[in-house]
Amino acid sequence: MIVSIRNEHLAIEFATKGAELKSIVGIDSSVNYMWRGDAQFWGKFSPVLFPIVGALKENTYEYQGQKYTLPRHGFARDMEFEHELISATEIAFKLKHTEETLKIYPFQFELTLCYRLRGASLQCTYQVVNPSDQTMLFSIGGHPAFAAPLHGEGTYTDYYLEFNNDDELTFHHIEDNLISDQTTTIELKDKMLPLKHELFYGDALVFKNLKSNHIRLLNTKNYKGLNFHFEGFPYFGIWAAIDADFVCLEPWCGIADGVNHNQHLTEKEGIEKLSAGETWERSWEVCCF
């Protein structure tokens, strides 16, 4: 099911499956800032990663002496969310644990994705509630794919990312979907990373020490672009499918298992721990121009 919100600047569409953001269209320009979802390359648009980010070693983890299996990025992106249209410019999607989720993830949870339009900006807030009497362990992250080029103007290599606080980028390599200790450092000129398809031939660029909390997607042909702002996410990924015309900007609270991880969930790098009855929130925001 497709639902929408809008204001005088932007029209937004979502799928209730996965609470997935599908399009951000400028009212005046008709420019869609999101990837078109071509299944030949990658058929998704902006999946939510929950209750894990990335892959588990052998797709398996151990908790309290039992082993469980979870697919890469978890299950929320493939589940149907309930939704509530709060106003013409705000919508909330909700997902709760079920008997089926408890078989593969033994924690009760209430997950809400709230999207709010504010002028030419869209804010996405992740809220996790622990309704149980035990500590909840989870990871969560965003995966929005933005079009490059926008509206078919220019080519992929006309586009670049501009970071507000980084002069170099050190990323971890991915080995069989897991995080390796091997790193590569890219020196940035004027804090800019030119886009080229070859950047992502080895999978995502995974950052554990990104200093920036603001990234701009810009190009050399016109003034169309976007500002992406995020706070409180200790990990970040940048990715595109091979030779596809998009770039994903991915703020994460959590990360894939390391190649040498012991598979114990309590010892997983980046795992969030939420006490009984507590609420956890993080937000990212995209401003389009």
pLDDT tens per residue, range 157-187: 999 999 999 999 999 999 999 999 999 999 9
Under a CB-based contact definition with an 8 Å cutoff, are residues 237 and 206 in contact? yes
Closest Cα partner for 165 from 253, 230, 247? Answer: 230
Q: Domain segments of the chain: what residues?
A: 2-288
Inform me whether the pLDDT recorded for 38 exceeds 80: yes
pLDDT at residue 143 in the model: 98
Tokens of 165: 């606080």
36: left (phi over 0), alpha (psi -120 to 50) or beta: alpha
Could you read off the pLDDT of 194-246 as tens digits, one per residue?
Answer: 999 999 999 999 999 999 999 999 999 998 999 999 999 999 999 999 999 99
pLDDT at residue 102 in the model: 98
Under a CB-based contact definition with an 8 Å cutoff, are residues 174 and 256 in contact? yes
Lowest mean pLDDT among 152-156, 162-166, 238-242, 249-253: 152-156
Could you read off the pLDDT of 113-147 as tens digits, one per residue?
Answer: 999 999 999 999 999 999 999 999 999 999 999 99
Neighbours of 65 (CB within 10 A): 5
Under a CB-based contact definition with an 8 Å cutoff, are residues 245 and 151 in contact? no
Pairing of strands 205-207, 214-219: unpaired
Rounded to a whole number of angstroms, the distance between the first and last alpha carbons of the chain is 28
Inform me whether the pLDDT recorded for 152 exceeds 80: no
Q: What is the mean pLDDT of residues 253-280?
A: 98
Measured distance CA(167)–CA(151) in Å, rounded = 30
Q: What is the mean pLDDT of residues 40-53?
A: 98
Q: What is the mean pLDDT of residues 248-253?
A: 98
pLDDT at residue 153 in the model: 78
CATH fold, domain 2-288, is: Beta-galactosidase; Chain A, domain 5 (2.70.98)
Q: What is the mean pLDDT of residues 40-65?
A: 98
pLDDT at residue 56 in the model: 98
Could you read off the pLDDT of 79-109 as tens digits, one per residue?
Answer: 999 999 999 999 999 999 999 999 999 999 9
What average pLDDT does the structure give for the chain? 97
Report CA 189 to chain centroid distance, whole Å: 26
